[in-house]
Amino acid sequence: MRAVVADGAGGPEVLSVQEVPDLTPGPGEVLLDVAATAVNRADVLQRRGFYPPPPGASETIGLECSGTVAALGDGVEGWSVGDEVCALLAGGGYASQVVVPAGQVMPVPDGVDLVTAAALPEVACTVWSNVFMVAGLKPDESFLVHGGAGGIGTFAIQLAHALGSQVLTTAGSPDKLELCRSLGADVAISYRDEDFVQVAREATGGRGVDVVLDNMGASYLPRNVDVLATEGRLVIIGMQGGVKGELDVATLLGKRGAVIATSLRGRPVEGKTAICASVVEHVWPLVADGTVKASVGRTVPLDDVRDAHEHIDDGTHTGKIVLTL
């Protein structure tokens, strides 16, 4: 089989496609022939040496894929050789084959082609688990997602809009703000030129925002707490703005607010299995009827993995970058 191998940590130039030993599925695992995988910001961190795989996971980069079931490990039920699927991975997606626990394999939603399906597992599982399962966003509540034009953001805007929430988002350029509006954002805020707290307060009649999905971490912590409504929930999923911030406990307490931080990749298989099942039940029907779409900004062959990583490094991409086998 072929896989992207990293020659040490560093820039895109450390990545190359090489022949590597074939894989065999263990008990409870499924072997997939990969059709496509997709690039996540976490892949960049792993390439740079800052985000090692969890214990037992493949050293190969890649948190999601689509493909065809090639073999089943002992005890796997519900899947057959030849099924077209997509999967949430702890690693190993940038390869022609991958093994994955059966519970992290999902059907390709009706109406979605196999290549596009590679762009769905990570965003669907992250957004659904954090915004709806953890933060419990309700239809009459307001929702702010930072980085609305990125992979996570484009999906979060569509899903929250489809389920009836007022959606606010931030982005870094006029084109990206326009993309966010086209996906269903009611309010798109330039994080370069505007104060998102002030704009969000005005847009919510002074109440503030019920749920914030945050990719920035430390640098946005005070303002994210500030922007919360009474009984609001801030869910931190990224640290693009650093790791140590100052929390105004008095403000949080006065609002009876919650600050939650989660990581999908490091969860046990049982947790990921439950999230995948919930995504298939609640999110896939909205994808199948076209209400929510995978936002694919670019599709390139796996052999051009360096180009794809240069593109995500320079921050000009929108939505997801898909790598095809």
Ligand X SMILES: NC(=O)c1ccc[n+]([C@@H]2O[C@H](COP(=O)([O-])OP(=O)(O)OC[C@H]3O[C@@H](n4cnc5c(N)ncnc54)[C@H](OP(=O)(O)O)[C@@H]3O)[C@@H](O)[C@H]2O)c1
Residues lying near ligand X in the complex (CB under 6 A) are found at 40-42, 122, 126, 146-147, 149-153, 170-172, 176, 191, 215-216, 237-238, 240, 262-264, 312, 315
Give whichever of 97 and 215 is closer to ligand X, judged by the CB atom.
215
Angle between helices 151-162 and 174-183 (to 10 degrees): 30
Cβ at position 41, least distance to ligand X in Å? 3
Of 34 and 188, the one with the shorter C-beta distance to ligand X is 188
CB distance 171 to 318 below 8 Å:
no
Match 């992207």 to its residue by tokens: 4
Closer Cβ to ligand X, 67 or 297, answer by number: 297
* Residues 95, 64 contacting (CB under 8 angstroms): no
Q: List the structure tokens of 269.
A: 């298989």
| Residues 223, 221: Cα–Cα separation, whole Å | 6
User: E strands of 184-242, at which residues?
Assistant: 187-190, 209-214, 228-236
Q: Between residues 131 and 302, which has the closer beta carbon with respect to ligand X?
A: 131
Q: Please, what is the minimum distance in Å from the beta carbon of residue 308 to ligand X?
A: 12
199 C-beta neighbours (distance < 10 Å), count? 18
State the minimum distance, in angstroms, from the CB of residue 75 to ligand X. Answer: 28
Least Cβ distance, residue 85 to ligand X (angstroms): 20
Question: Are 143 and 268 spatial neighbours (Cβ–Cβ below 8 Å)?
Answer: no
Q: Closest distance between ligand X and the C-beta of residue 202, in Å?
A: 19
Joined together, the tokens standing for residue 165 give 């929430």
Gap between the Cα atoms of 24 and 274, Å rounded = 25
Closer to ligand X at the Cβ: 72 or 180? 180
Shortest distance in whole angstroms from residue 80 CB to ligand X: 30
Cβ–Cβ under 8 Å, residues 162 and 137: no
Distance of CA 116 to the CA centre of its chain: 14
By C-beta, is 35 or 156 nearer to ligand X? 156
Residue 167 or residue 171: which is nearer to ligand X going by CB? 171
Minimum separation from the CB atom of position 22 to ligand X (A): 29
281 CB burial (10 A radius; 0-12, 13-18, 19+): exposed
